Amino acid sequence: MTVTPLDALPLEVLRRRSSTKWRSYGPDVIPMFVAETDFPLAPAITDALREAVEIGDTGYTPPRPEIGSAFVSFAHRHWGWRVDPARVRWTGDVMMGVVEILRATVAPGERVVITPPVYPPFFDTVREAGAVVEEVPLVDDGSGWFLDLPGIDAALSGGARAVLLCNPHNPTGTVHSREQLAQLATIAARHGAVVVSDEIHGPLAHADHPFTPFLSVSDDAADVGFAVTSASKAYNLAGLKCAVMVAASEANAAVLRQLPWEVEWRTGLFGALSNIAAFSGDSDAWLASLRARLDVNRTLLAELLAQHLPLARYRPPQAGFLAWIDVSAYKWGDDPAVAVRRNARVALHHGPYFGPQGRGHVRMNFGCGPDILREAVERIAAFARSGSRL
């Protein structure tokens, strides 16, 4: 069945938004840095929030807000993953969940493996939990990025106690294969380590690279793992504050149940209502339409870069709406986003924030209309043609 790509909202409407993406820079800058998208909300979400506002449903989040059962249904429909609703908890956002799970499973001063280039809050989150970052970068074989399993094995052999996994990976858009995830679980089990998997981009995996939840790959994964995810990235709900924490073993479910009660109270009521609506079947058609748009845009971006910025190196992501682009050939310094914003008036995310591997790189958000994507690349190309470097 053919799915019609979702249309973005008009620019004049987007500029009325008060979120980070639209209030960080002036109207002469095209904002393509933070991971917010430019589309209307799924109708089921709009309806749920409208009704809440109309009846003044703005109080405290209830103790059992039905997020768990909604996520269980979503996971089964989309990934064939059977989740026990008794092993699902909730909190304000994915990074809150990650911090609390690390605090509960890793002693202060112990090391946690991350896989840069990776989402910048991973560095801070590990430190917030009282642990120490150990970097085991992804391996780039020229065709894609992969987990450095021997490197992770060595880190755990050397005393690291946990792996903070980004699955799918931000910023590369890599969907880790079932085989790699199963091998990671085996390695972690052998060393008695924990794997905490941030799976917020899972709903946005493209059809050619289906998403595999870490906890579903093996008994070892169920024993060592926790997953933390949310509807917020796919459905653009970050400001409403809701995420789910999932365990697949009774022992790990007990860890979630023993977290301080305040962890759940951080969940916003509008976040709960919107996540329930997002995870319901009523939002599935909207999600399919969004993925169709992102599929068109990731290909369009490849064409635009080939035409206008031929020295840029870009692999279309396997999931999500974030492009990891190497522009080092243009000699715009270690952090090209600075020069691009000053000279092209396009705001991109800073490559070095994702780790040393990000030098010379930018992350571009293509969760927008094709006209904005085209104008942004053309502006950057005009800067490149000018011969300026800084």
Domain identity same for 154 and 204: yes
pLDDT score recorded for residue 387: 73
Contact 304, 127 (CB under 8 A): no
Nearest to 269 by CA among 90, 84, 94, 74: 90
Domain end residue (candidates: 283, 311, 339): 283
Domain identity same for 26 and 57: no
Residue 366 lies in a domain: yes
What lies within 8 Å, CB to CB, of 335 at 6+ separation is 350, 351, 352, 359
What lies within 8 Å, CB to CB, of 307 at 6+ separation is none
Domain identity same for 321 and 224: no
Q: Cα 339 vs. chain centroid, distance in angstroms?
A: 26
pLDDT score recorded for residue 389: 55
Residue 2 lies in a domain: no
pLDDT score recorded for residue 388: 61
- The pair phi, psi for residue 161, each rounded to 5°, is -110, -10
Residue 1 lies in a domain: no
User: Which CATH number does the domain housing residue 109 bear?
Assistant: 3.40.640.10
Q: Which residues of the chain have pLDDT under 70?
A: 388-390
Domain identity same for 36 and 160: no
Residue 30 lies in a domain: yes
Residue 139 lies in a domain: yes
The sign of the torsion formed by the CA atoms of 368, 373, 375, 377 equals positive
Residue 348 in tokens:
């991109």
Domain identity same for 60 and 177: yes
Domain identity same for 133 and 266: yes
Indicate yes or no: pTM above 0.95. Answer: yes
Residue span of the structural domain in which 19 resides: 11-41+284-384
pLDDT score recorded for residue 70: 98
Model confidence pLDDT, tens digit, residues 367-379: 999 999 999 999 9
Domain end residue (candidates: 267, 283, 299): 283
Q: What is the C-alpha to C-alpha distance for residues 336 and 314, in angstroms, rounded to an integer?
A: 15
Domain identity same for 23 and 140: no
Give, in degrees to the nearest 5, the angle at Cα 87 between 194 and 81.
85
Domain identity same for 96 and 180: yes
Domain end residue (candidates: 224, 249, 283): 283
Q: What is the C-alpha to C-alpha distance for residues 358 and 85, in angstroms, rounded to an integer?
A: 39
User: Which CATH number does the domain housing residue 31 bear?
Assistant: 3.90.1150.10
Domain identity same for 334 and 250: no
Domain identity same for 347 and 333: yes
Residue 271 lies in a domain: yes
Domain identity same for 295 and 374: yes
Model confidence pLDDT, tens digit, residues 330-339: 999 999 999 9
Residue 213 lies in a domain: yes
3-state SS record for 123-160? HHHHHHCCCEEEECCCEECCCCEECCHHHHHHHHHCCC
What lies within 8 Å, CB to CB, of 154 at 6+ separation is none
Residue 390 lies in a domain: no
- Give the count of domains, the chain: 2
pLDDT score recorded for residue 151: 98
Domain identity same for 235 and 296: no
Nearest to 95 by CA among 272, 243, 252: 243
